[in-house]
Amino acid sequence: MLFDPLKIRDVTLKNRIAVSPMCQYSSEDGLASDWHLVHLGSRAVGGAALVLTEAASVEERGRISPQDLGLWEDDQIDMLQRITSFIRAQGSVAGVQLAHAGRKASTSRPWDGNEPVETDQGGWRPVLAPSAIPFDEGYPTPEAMSVDHIRAVTKAFVQAARRAQEAGFQVIEIHAAHGYLMHQFLSPLSNERTDDYGGAFENRIRLLREVASAVRKVWPDQLPLFVRLSATDWVADGGWDLEQSVKLSRLLKEDGVDLIDCSSGGTVPKAKVPVGPGYQTPFAERIRRDTGILTAAVGMITSPEQAETILRTGQADVVVLAREFLRDPYWPHHAAAKLGAKPSPPVQYSRAF
Ligand SMILES: Cc1cc2nc3c(=O)[nH]c(=O)nc-3n(C[C@H](O)[C@H](O)[C@H](O)COP(=O)(O)O)c2cc1C
């Protein structure tokens, strides 16, 4: 099962294993570098069917950190093109995660403290959000977005999608999870707007649906479009939750989204998250069962048997691994050997597996 192919539109994944988006905080001016080529390329050599880039910002001020990857300028296409062609040459599919950090923009990378960066330290202001509510103490108060800002962000996603196609990506994932801009609109905890983009469920989901539809229009019909959702804010009262995620997924399916990548959390700093092996998998299962859309499960999936069970029991269509892929870029080849499937390393490595 883990090694069964999956066809989505005209793209065939050779197995059900994907590399989760992981910020590398290693870009200058949003440019990919040799680091990205080796990091992403190694995981393609390692046998992942789908290699997703880290969050690539659609706007300069939408970066999480000053070192984020970006797709807000045509100059950023070239190096990404080199990376996608390498990934493709390994029989893998290259995907890009398009993102905007909203009120969580302008923070330092984890090894520099993971805190807001001031303008004299390479940060920027204002940061944008649906409402003027800071993420946490010490974070900047964001500027509540005007409708013009909202239109500009939608346009930026569309422009980035066009660049993604030029760069040779075959999958786009819209990042609508982890408390970043799209999720900030979804959650009543960060969205207190009283216009068409806030309040009722239909209004809070409006921006994400507009972005997904606009991207779908320019993204070729034969190529898949994914959305990563935080299925819940993990807040008992008044937050975004699984019921809303199910309703939204159904509508996103109508908008031409092919797969929901089911993560959770990130809107508020103090949420209690019951982290453990496969802790987010039930979200993928419920959304898949109730809406019929393809889902990906992510979060503390580490063993081949666990991944196989998730797929066999119909909880998800794809398993997405992050940290385990940092520990072992060759996880798919090792998993194949363990599950009695045939590892398919590149010929150069065939004597090792
Ligand atoms: C170093 C690192 C960077 C990450 N960057 C992103 C990102 O850019 N976009 C995203 O959606 N999730 C990001 N995540 C979250 C992962 O994609 C994944 O959802 C999470 O780590 C849980 O999966 P795991 O238990 O397999 O690591 C990141 C995680 C790590 C460890």
Q: Which residue segments constitute the domains of the chain, with CATH numbers given?
A: 6-352 (3.20.20.70)
> Could you tell me if the CB of 300 is within 6 A of ligand 1?
yes
Alpha-carbon gap, residue 205 to 182, rounded angstroms: 9
Task: Please identify every residue annotated as catalytic.
Answer: 180
CA dist 143 and 61 (Å) reads: 12
Confidence (pLDDT) at 55: 98
| 321 CA → ligand 1 middle, Å | 8
What is the residue-level pLDDT of the chain in tens, covering all 353 positions?
A: 999 999 999 999 999 999 999 999 999 999 999 999 999 999 999 999 999 999 999 999 999 999 999 999 999 999 999 999 999 999 999 999 999 999 999 999 999 999 999 999 999 999 999 999 999 999 999 999 999 999 999 999 999 999 999 999 999 999 999 999 999 999 999 999 999 999 999 999 999 999 999 999 999 999 999 999 999 999 999 999 999 999 999 999 999 999 999 999 999 999 999 999 999 999 999 999 999 999 999 999 999 999 999 999 999 999 999 999 999 999 999 999 999 999 999 999 999 98
The Cα–Cα gap between 335 and 279 comes to 21
Q: From CA 133, how far away is CA 137, in angstroms rounded? A: 10
pLDDT for res 163:
98
Q: Which two tokens stand for residue 69?
A: 């990857």
Q: And the tokens for 342?
A: 């045939």
Structure tokens at 202: 């239909």
Intra-chain end-to-end CA distance of the chain, in Å: 20
pLDDT at position 161 is: 99
For residue 23, what are its two tokens? 């910020």
Q: Ligand 1, residue 54: give the atom nearest the CA.
A: 8
Residue nearest ligand 1's atom 28 by CA: 22
Using the mean position of ligand 1's atoms as its centre, give its distance from the Cα of residue 176 in Å. 13
Pure H helices in 187-330: 201-204, 206-218, 242-254, 281-291, 304-312, 323-327
How close is the Cα of 320 to the center of ligand 1, in Å? 10
pLDDT at 330 (0 to 100): 98
Residue 104, ligand 1, Cβ within 6 A: no
CA atoms within 13 A on the CB side of 290: 17
Q: Is 324 in the pocket of ligand 1 (CB under 6 A)?
A: yes
Which of 99, 25, 21 has its CA nearest to residue 61? 99
Q: In the 3-class helix/strand/coil scheme, how is 36-103 assigned residue by residue?
A: HHHHHHHHHHCCCCEEEEEEEECCHHHCCCCCCEECCCHHHHHHHHHHHHHHHHCCCEEEEEEECCHH
Residue 195 C-alpha to ligand 1 middle, in angstroms? 33
Tell me the CA–centroid distance for residue 30 and ligand 1, in Å.
19
* Minimum-distance ligand 1 atom for the alpha carbon of 298: 23
Q: Is the CB of 131 under 6 A from ligand 1?
A: no
Ligand 1 pocket check for 123: Cβ under 6 Å: no
Largest CA distance in the chain: 63
Pair 16, 315: CB distance under 8 Å: no
Choose among 71, 73, 42, 74: nearest CA to 54: 71
Q: Which atom of ligand 1 is least distant from the CA of 177?
A: 11
77 with 166: CB under 8 angstroms? yes
* Ligand 1 lined by 321 (C-beta under 6 Å): yes
Residue 168: DSSP 8-state? T
* Ligand 1 and 298: CB distance under 6 A: yes
Phi, psi of 22 (to 5 degrees): -140, 110
Q: How far is Cα 26 from Cα 31, in angstroms, rounded to an integer?
A: 9
